[in-house]
Amino acid sequence: MFTPSHSQGLCARPPVEPDALLASGLSVSFPRLNEIDAVAITRRIYAIDGTATRFSTEKDDTFRIDAVDGALYVLKVSNPGETAEELDLQVAAMRHVATAAPHLPVPHVLPGIDGRFVVPLGPSMQPQRTARPYSYLEGTPLDALRPGAVDHYEIGEVLAQLELALADFRHPHEHRVLAWDVKHMASLAGLQAHIAAPLHRSLIAEAFPRFAVIEPALRRCPTQVVHNDFNRSNIVGNPGGPNFVSGIIDFSDTVHTAIAIDVATAVMNQFPLDFDADGPHDLFALFRRASYCAATWPMPNSAPTNCG
């Protein structure tokens, strides 16, 4: 069982202005880079020659780099709204996990020729941006896998191991104010007026009083630095491999907050997109049935029962 360390605090939430919450990379527009730009950056800063393939991302420019020597990398070029402090937090957290729990499938952060892990692209890049490459992790994001191929048990185990690996991690910027930190949800209430779709606006309106009910308990929950975005796009799976989870990616929402928030985000993202929120749910029913069938069939004088 995970026992929080004495150095962990409780999830107190001082008042936060909405403008502070919205001061994130998603609120900053910028010209997108192309594959030619990515190849030039990896050659100049990292002495890596190869080809680039763009990944679809909402916040920054991200490319897979196929090096001429056969190695694979991920190049991330920051959004101009991302500060040096938050990028250093991401990199430091990933490097800490690589040391504290080297068995966890977290990308390795590679330094540039000059030894820095976050490298400014120079005055020719306006607005100013930085680059950082990671090792490439093979597999398929969960959102591209059929539900029956997902091992929910192992996802939970890996998240618990990640929490343990980060339990003693400290960083000067870990208490940053982040809109995606659920403890600040009440501070976003004034933004409901900007939701155009009436149905979506009504659903959001129902969420705020429900959050108000649990917020006092949330404030008493143990806290630490967490991944904070354990969703389908950020978990890479390898069905049939020795370990189902082959990658934990995207530490851009890393922050010091309630551990319960990190767990809740992970659980919420395991439900199918079309599930009935008012109905009973058992995420592990299909996995248990598959395990039972594998253990009991084929057997002499027996046939599979409800194992389809």
Domain membership flag for residue 11: no
* Same domain for 169 and 266: yes
Q: Across the strands, what pairs with 66?
A: 51, 72
CATH number at residue 253: 3.90.1200.10
* Same domain for 181 and 33: no
Pure H helices in the chain: 18-22, 35-46, 84-100, 152-166, 198-219, 259-268, 285-296
3-state secondary structure 131-163: EEEEECCCCEEHHHCCHHHCCHHHHHHHHHHHH
Domain membership flag for residue 5: no
Q: Residue 54, class by beta-carbon neighbours within 10 Å (0-12 exposed, 13-18 middle, 19+ buried)?
A: middle
* Same domain for 303 and 215: yes
Domain membership flag for residue 9: no
* Same domain for 171 and 294: yes
Domain membership flag for residue 98: yes
* Same domain for 65 and 181: no
Q: Does 232 have pLDDT greater than 60?
A: yes
Q: Does 69 have pLDDT greater than 70?
A: yes
* Same domain for 197 and 122: no
For 238-247, how does the pLDDT look when each residue is reduced to its tens digit (9 = 90+)? 998 999 999 9
* Same domain for 155 and 235: yes
Domain membership flag for residue 10: no
* Same domain for 255 and 178: yes
* Same domain for 142 and 262: yes
CA-nearest of 161, 109, 160 to 132 is 109
Q: Residue 80, class by beta-carbon neighbours within 10 Å (0-12 exposed, 13-18 middle, 19+ buried)?
A: middle
* Same domain for 145 and 101: no
Q: Does 203 have pLDDT greater than 80?
A: yes
For 245-304, how does the pLDDT look when each residue is reduced to its tens digit (9 = 90+)? 999 999 999 999 999 999 999 998 887 766 666 666 666 565 555 544 444 445 444 444
Average pLDDT, the chain: 86
Q: Does 233 have pLDDT greater than 50?
A: yes
Q: Where in the sequence is the domain holding 293, given as residue range(s)?
A: 137-274+282-308
Higher pLDDT, 29 or 49: 49
The number of folded domains in the chain is 2
* Same domain for 153 and 267: yes
Identify the band that residue 207 occupies on the pLDDT scale cut at 50, 70 and 90: very high
Contact 92, 117 (CB under 8 A): no
Least confidently predicted of 60-74, 112-126, 216-230: 112-126
Of 89, 111, 136, the domain-final residue:
136
